[in-house]
Structure 1
Amino acid sequence: MKFLFASDSFKGTISSARTAELLGEAAGKVFPECRWESVEVADGGEGTTDAVIAALKGERVWREVRGPLGNPVSAYFGRIGENKAVLEMAAASGLPLLKEEERNPIQASTYGTGELILAALEDGCQEIVVAIGGSATNDGGMGCLRALGVRFLDQLGNELEGCGADLERVSAIDRSGLHPLIFQAKFTVMCDVTNPLTGPDGATRTFGKQKGGTPDMLNRLEAGMENYRRVLERTFGVDVNQIPGTGAAGGLGAALFLFLRAELKSGIETVLDLIHFDERLEGVSVVVTGEGRTDWQSAFGKVISGVGLRCQKKGIPVLVLSGGLGAGADKLYGYGVTSMMTAVDGPMPLNEALERAEELYRDAALRMFRILQVGRQLT
């Protein structure tokens, strides 16, 4: 019997790699003759770069870039082989880089993300994958593109800085200085939201509040984003509101799609393709996956549903071992999942469950494999 372990990280408690070690330990006790392999998996959010680096034996390449408010931060991209790179925009322009009281989508910029993309290009990478979850910004991607050589101009021809406040001021776009290495590269954007750039479901109205936007700020940003959308339409002849996902990361999705000709793809599907997940399924009897909490959202572009659907195509059963199960978790049975278990073994406060996460997970893994052993004996 051969197992493949492919869990997401249990954020704040157990890493993806550690779940595999614990599962391997438990599997060996119940099935001494078994073989197992593991692969770190992420869905395009936090931890995606590290998961791909670990799975493909890549390396971190560090650079100092501008943070969302212009302060210097250390960020890295993952270099995979000779010419591939994967990076998370949140590493340079993400909410985790700011204290709650510092969040300000009027002033925040994606400039550092552009610097990180440029670093990958100058390092010789020609296939670049960008995960755009967790942004602190609402600048339409202007900061990012400015770092790559694009000039955003006001009505007098003055160049703008490229932050949220400039959305209402932009009148024209000069693309003549776009870095030449961009034209030799292929870009993929990991994007699991379908929001348009503007409107009630757009970047500002949907995500602006969590980035620190007050009602007055959001009204100003939405008006500015609508002005920006019109400028983009004049420049490219495309209404980005008709393209799902262009509102992701405060409009960075629109900028990467238009200026870099990037393909917008599901995060988990992109990760699974990058790590050659289908090839890893050869000869596997059972796959075990999981995450910190599994509920209805897990069926939409998350690790469990992505892994489940890939396994379903090959007829491989999938067991889920998660920290907890929430409402709607049963939807996953339609996504290739065979059975689900929780690590928590009784009522307890959340802080206790977090403190005992590894112990609880280890015990639950043993229970899961023992149940699997019963099924094998019955067969």
Structure 2
Amino acid sequence: MDPLRILIAPTGFQTDLQSDRVADYIEEGVRRVFSEESAFIRKVPLYDGEGSFSQSLIALHDGELRKFEVNDPFYKPILCSIGFINDNTTAVLDLTVASIPKPDYNFYSNPTTTTSYGIGELLVSVLDAGCTEIIIDYGDWGARDGGAGILQALGAKFLDEEGNELLTISGASELYRIADVSLRDIHPRLKKIRLVVVCSSDEMHSSSHGGGMINGLENATEDQIEKFFTGKDKFRATTEKFLKKEHNGTPLISSVNSLGIGLGVIGADFRERSDAAKEYLQTEGLFDKPWDLMITGAMCLTSQSPIGKMALDLAQLARKHGIHTIAIAGLVQGNVKDIYDQGVDSFASAVVGPESSEKKTSALVADATERSMRMVAMGLSMKRDESG
């Protein structure tokens, strides 16, 4: 008998579990019943506004992860993962996952000395690999230099007041030294690619990101604070000639916390995640391959909830392709018949009995999946008995 082909594509369970972890625990429940020989599984965690946009994108396109060694915000070597999709023509980089300052680095003692040079090194790697599109899932890399390190790694030159090249810019506290920027020797392939930076709505629109105190700066000296803000303002003014008109004054470019200046200089197109999801996270292609079963999931399975509706919409799409769907739900609201009518063939509750609340959500999801899979296994056994 050929192995079952199972597609696992859940949303998250609110703050308890993000969609990638829900997918992991659904897989655990499946494996309690079906071995690797008896079931092939593909996991595609859905982006529901929480969790990682980039992880969902890479999984949706069945992408490949590659590791690159670069410098972290403290010029220490680290390995970072980049996803490659669309026949390796598109690179996907999640800044939050790529590098988080390690606790022993004492990041908060003086974050003004941190650098984004490593991000530039990652961009050089994917440019040299021949990618024609780069998608950056924006997050806190840990650098506070406005993206100056990115530009230097890509070949930009910084000049002082006398026209001398500044070979190193060690963080925001040295930005005040930059009087001019030359892009003459910038990586030549930058002009041939599309660079998209996906951000949260707050990063795109909230004025609170345009000023204020950055994390950890309360531990810096008065001299460090003065150099930081002076340097940030000067760097913004010096690079303004390279920025698109629509970038001027946007919080992501102006933010003291962000790398938006450097990314804006190299022509980044800044997009809200919710808007970018409509272009990049199309699920229709999931059903180009034949599946015997899809397992989705949502904390609340109802068409009245945007996240619950996402799971139901995918179930409808699966039904259109002749694929049965099981839903793992933390809560089911409304008329159950409506849920069946919207594409779900069966569902299992992840909250059963008075003892369930004492278990972790992860165990509840795995247990609910196991119960469903035992029913599937019984049905397959009965079918074999009939045919035999």
Fold match (TM-score > 0.5)? yes
Q: 1:242 aligns with which of 238, 249, 253?
A: 249
Name the SS for the 1:254 alignment partner.
helix
Shift of 1:57: 2.4
Looking at structure 2, the residues matched to 128 and 190 of structure 1 have their Cα atoms a distance apart, in angstroms, of: 11
For normalisation by structure 1, the TM-score amounts to: 0.66
Name the SS for the 1:129 alignment partner.
strand
Q: 2:155 aligns with which of 146, 149, 152?
A: 149
Looking at structure 2, the residues matched to 255 and 360 of structure 1 have their Cα atoms a distance apart, in angstroms, of: 45
* Counterpart residue number, 2:195: 187
The one-letter code matched in structure 2 to 1:177 is D
Name the SS for the 1:176 alignment partner.
coil
Looking at structure 2, the residues matched to 219 and 38 of structure 1 have their Cα atoms a distance apart, in angstroms, of: 47
* Counterpart residue number, 1:124: 130
Shift of 1:233: 2.3
Shift of 1:82: 3.4
Shift of 1:69: 0.4
Structural mapping, 1:246-257, within 5 Å: 246=253, 250-256=257-263
Q: 1:60 aligns with which of 55, 59, 65?
A: 65
* Counterpart residue number, 1:231: 238
Looking at structure 1, the residues matched to 154 and 95 of structure 2 have their Cα atoms a distance apart, in angstroms, of: 14
Q: How many residues align?
A: 331
For normalisation by structure 2, the TM-score amounts to: 0.65
Looking at structure 2, the residues matched to 13 and 279 of structure 1 have their Cα atoms a distance apart, in angstroms, of: 19
Shift of 1:319: 7.6
* Counterpart residue number, 1:338: none
Shift of 1:20: 3.7
Q: 1:77 aligns with which of 73, 82, 89?
A: 82
Shift of 1:75: 1.1
8 Å contact kept, 2:210–2:252: no
Looking at structure 2, the residues matched to 237 and 5 of structure 1 have their Cα atoms a distance apart, in angstroms, of: 38
Looking at structure 2, the residues matched to 227 and 43 of structure 1 have their Cα atoms a distance apart, in angstroms, of: 39
Looking at structure 2, the residues matched to 201 and 278 of structure 1 have their Cα atoms a distance apart, in angstroms, of: 38
Q: 1:220-243: CA deviations, max 9, x gaps? A: 333432222222224547484533
The one-letter code matched in structure 2 to 1:7 is T
8 Å contact kept, 1:233–1:240: no
Distance 1:244 1:74, change over 3 A: same
Q: 1:225-273: CA deviations, max 9, x gaps? A: 22222222245474845335335793323322x3232221233553564
Distance 1:111 1:193, change over 3 A: farther
Deviates most, 174-183 or 159-168? 159-168
Looking at structure 1, the residues matched to 151 and 63 of structure 2 have their Cα atoms a distance apart, in angstroms, of: 27
Shift of 1:113: 0.7
Q: Are positions 1:114 and 2:123 aligned together? A: no
* Counterpart residue number, 1:173: 181
Deviates most, 227-236 or 136-145? 227-236
The one-letter code matched in structure 1 to 2:262 is A
8 Å contact kept, 2:22–2:365: no
The one-letter code matched in structure 2 to 1:59 is E
Q: C-alpha root-mean-square deviation of aligned residues, in Å?
A: 4.9
* Counterpart residue number, 1:105: 111
Looking at structure 1, the residues matched to 185 and 50 of structure 2 have their Cα atoms a distance apart, in angstroms, of: 31
8 Å contact kept, 1:203–1:248: yes
Shift of 1:185: 0.7
Shift of 1:68: 0.8
Between the aligned residues of both structures, percent identity stands at 22
Q: 1:268-291: CA deviations, max 9, x gaps? A: 553564343244489999984448
* Counterpart residue number, 1:329: none
8 Å contact kept, 1:45–1:133: no
Q: Which runs of 5+ in 1 are unaligned?
A: 29-35, 325-340, 370-379
Distance 1:265 1:195, change over 3 A: closer
Larger radius of gyration: 2
* Counterpart residue number, 1:41: 46
Q: 1:361 aligns with which of 357, 361, 365?
A: 365
